[in-house]
Amino acid sequence: MVIVMKPASNQTEIDEVSKVLESLGLGIHISKGAERTIIGVIGDKRLLNDVPLELMSGVEKLVPIAESYKLAGKTFRPEPSVIDVGGVKIGGKGIVLMAGPCAVESREQILEAAHAVKKSGAQILRGGAYKPRTSPYAFQGLEEEGLKYLKEAKDETGLLLITEVTSEKAIESAASFVDMFQVGARNVQNFQLLREIGRSMKPVLFKRGPSTTIDEWLNAAEYIMNEGNYNVILCERGIRTFETATRNTLDISTVPVVKSLSHLPVFIDPSHAAGKSQYVAALSKAAIAAGADGLIIEVHPNPKCALSDAAQQLTPSAFDDLCKDISKIAEILGREFKYGG
């Protein structure tokens, strides 16, 4: 259930309603929109059977929530959320690009990649310090050494940082280095990890699993948001189908479907969807045309020498060409993307 407050309701009225709910042992989540404040009620709504909340000062109406994802859904927050990551707004009129190599491999590699993607218009540098891999013998990442290289790249370029975290230990190590966490597809339903990320209060890019339905995905996001962290950006990265021409099948319909169900921003990861660099540009442009709020793209100074996911990483030159095209598409759509940093 959500309690919709009147447009003219004041803080005292909001506090009084909150006190009543808390006295019954119910959880509350407050969302302040441009016109109204909405109070989400978490817990057994039967406790409210004898409480005339609708008669309390400042209350406009009570609205039951049919969806199991109460905080991620539009009933809780009708207008789209805009997530502020270090001054970069995600979810508004602007299109945001995150770019960089799949994994941080060396100081020289991440610095070269950072300067290249910054030059083309990326605002956030991606780079894996912790790399969960299918094979235990594959490159697993530089861990804290990689985080230090990322921080040096940020200091040189001014780019914000995002990296994947895979455990509570990784969260603790990465928190002081990066501006955003990424939850990879393998951990979409690692609920303990999601709770820990929720408690961190850091913005998070939350990827969809290859066999995860949209309903399951939104419910999983609820684990993060239920800890009080509403800074969640959803990211579609391809789902598993019978098709083998690409690494995964990019579900482009995710963008309009999720935007009809949720207020959270939606990103697309064309690199993991395609698995082949020659398809990344086309999928990227289709995603922007479909209304995605941004892209996370793998870019490596020398993809042929990459220690992970070499086939899907763009060269800096190919990324630059893509950014030029995105700036043109953004203008047609009435959105904003500044090519050239």
pLDDT along the chain (341 residues), means of 10: 91 94 90 86 84 92 86 91 96 96 95 97 94 69 90 97 94 95 95 96 97 97 95 97 96 97 98 97 98 98 92 97 97 94 58
Tell me the fold of 2-63: Alpha-Beta Plaits (3.30.70)
* pTM reported for the whole predicted model: 0.89
Write down the residue that tokens 């290289």 correspond to: 149
DSSP annotation of 51 reads: -
Nearest Cα to Cα of residue 212 among 245, 195, 190, 196: 190
pLDDT, position 49: 84
Instruction: Confirm or reject CATH 3.20.20.70 for domain 83-333, answering yes or no.
Output: yes
Report residue 315 as tokens.
């060269």
C-alpha distances in Å from residue 216, one per residue of 25, 72, 210, 334: 27, 12, 12, 32
- DSSP letters, 130-198, are S---SSTTS----THHHHHHHHHHHHHH--EEEEE--SHHHHHHHTTT-SEEEE-GGGTT-HHHHHHHH
pLDDT, position 3: 93
Judge residue 159's burial from the number of C-beta atoms within 10 Å of its C-beta, 0-12 exposed, 13-18 middle, 19 or more buried. buried
- Name residue 104's beta-bridge partners: none
First and final C-alpha spacing in the chain: 44
Sequence ranges of the domains in the chain: 2-63, 83-333
Residue 174, C-beta contacts closer than 8 angstroms, at least 6 positions apart: 129, 130, 147, 163, 165, 181
Nearest Cα to Cα of residue 177 among 252, 110, 132: 110
DSSP annotation of 302 reads: S
Nearest Cα to Cα of residue 71 among 36, 37, 32, 41: 41
- DSSP letters, 243-298, are --SSSSB--TTHHHHHHHHBSS-EEE-HHHHHSSHHHHHHHHHHHHHHT-SEEEEE
Report residue 57 as tokens.
């000062």
